[in-house]
Amino acid sequence: MTTPRPRTIDEVLAAARSRLHRLTPEQAQAAHESGALVVDIRPEAQRAAEGELPFATPVERNVLEWRLDPASDAALPIASHDLEVVVLCQEGYTSSLAAAALQELGIHRATDVIGGYAAWRAWLDRRA
């Protein structure tokens, strides 16, 4: 039996994104306004340094699956396999991997934001 060739992070990221319907900041804002849960997975220090969206729920990446898996003892009360979840990181890389991991748990409406918090913040600033 041949050992499969290891994948690069770029290949893993591309595979994750191929399963997602990624959102622009404008689409993510509309999803939020329609009831989607926006989850900010950035560490607290990064949120403090870069800023936050006031409506986003902070759930750091290392506990994301436990907080959103409805079968987990640590699940948020809102956790559901049908929950629309928009995952947010700083630039939209880690969030793609995280949203794909949520889909692996059966949270089929999980996705992320193209460009992450930086793009969403810039879009909001242009609208102001």
Separation of CA 30 from chain center: 16
Told to judge if 89 belongs to the known catalytic residues of this protein, a careful annotator would answer yes
53, 56, 89, 110: the catalytic one is 89
Write the DSSP string, 22-85: -B-HHHHHHHHHTTPEEEE-S-HHHHHHH---TTPEE--GGGHHHHH-TTSTT--TT--TT--E
Catalytic site positions = 89
